[in-house]
Chains A and B, each alone.
Chain A
Amino acid sequence: DAMVIQNPRYQVTQFGKPVTLSCSQTLNHNVMYWYQQKSSQAPKLLFHYYDKDFNNEADTPDNFQSRRPNTSFCFLDIRSPGLGDAAMYLCATSSGVTGGADTQYFGPGTRLTVL
């Protein structure tokens, strides 16, 4: 059974047209992450939520925003997509345990195309 679900799997948007990607989880994990992954590269962390606490990476553009209305759902909003934002967007979750193995579980990703 899917534990981290991302919708849609494929999203096409126009240059400058806002787009929202969604992620839900059935693991009841405290932490939810958004990553951007470009071709054959490692995932790049954009931000994460520990419960309701939002943690932005220093190099994440202001164009990227996130919302976590409850434990299960997290959204990635791209306010004005540019051609360089075309990528795979990955959502992940973890329990948030410290001092040990805080394994992250990934969703299948949303492939974003910007025309």
Chain B
Amino acid sequence: TQLLEQSPQFLSIQEGENLTVYCNSSSVFSSLQWYRQEPGEGPVLLVTVVTGGEVKKLKRLTFQFGDARKDSSLHITAAQPGDTGLYLCAGDTGTASKLTFGTGTRLQVTL
């Protein structure tokens, strides 16, 4: 069974702080996606990383895919209240058209 463990599970920080969310597995993924989900809404895709060691930036968000394609991280610089939500990583093995979802990280950013 493939597992994706995210840490931390919960994070409450003040506006302007930096944070990193980790997504770890013992399995290799052909790609990994990061989603943000707000209460009452569906997950919204933030980024897909495909190549080992790849780094992608989306404004204040920096995503990295591990060299061995088993782990990933999401770093947010100068967090804002609008960053509040549930962050989910999801790995694609490249077969069977199914994703393995991480356990989720709930982020709250306060003023």
Chain A contact residues, CB within 8 Å of chain B: 4, 6, 31, 40-43, 45, 48, 50, 88, 90, 92, 94, 96, 98-109, 111
Contact = CB atoms under 8 A, between A and B. Distances in A.
A40 B86 contact: yes
Given A103-B48, A104-B33, A108-B42, A41 B104 contact: yes
A92 B95 CA distance: 17
Interface residues of B, number: 26
Contacts of A90: 42-43
A48 B97 CA distance: 9
Contacts of A107: 42
Interface in B38-80: 40-45, 48, 50
Q: Of residues A48, A99, A102, which shows the largest number of chain B Cβ atoms within 10 Å of its Cβ?
A: A102
B94 A104 contact: no
Interface of B: 30-31, 33, 35, 40-45, 48, 50, 86, 88, 90, 92, 94-95, 97-99, 101-104, 106
Given A48-B98, A101-B31, A42 B103 contact: yes
> Top 8 nearest A-B pairs by Cβ distance?
A101-B31, A106-B42, A42-B101, A109-B42, A108-B42, A106-B43, A101-B48, A101-B50
A98 B31 CA distance: 11
Given A45-B98, A101-B30, A106 B44 contact: yes
27 contacts: A31-B97, A40-B86, A40-B104, A41-B104, A43-B43, A43-B88, A45-B98, A48-B97, A50-B97, A88-B40, A90-B43, A92-B42, A96-B97, A100-B30, A100-B31, A101-B31, A101-B33, A101-B48, A101-B50, A102-B97, A103-B33, A103-B92, A104-B45, A105-B45, A106-B35, A106-B44, A111-B40
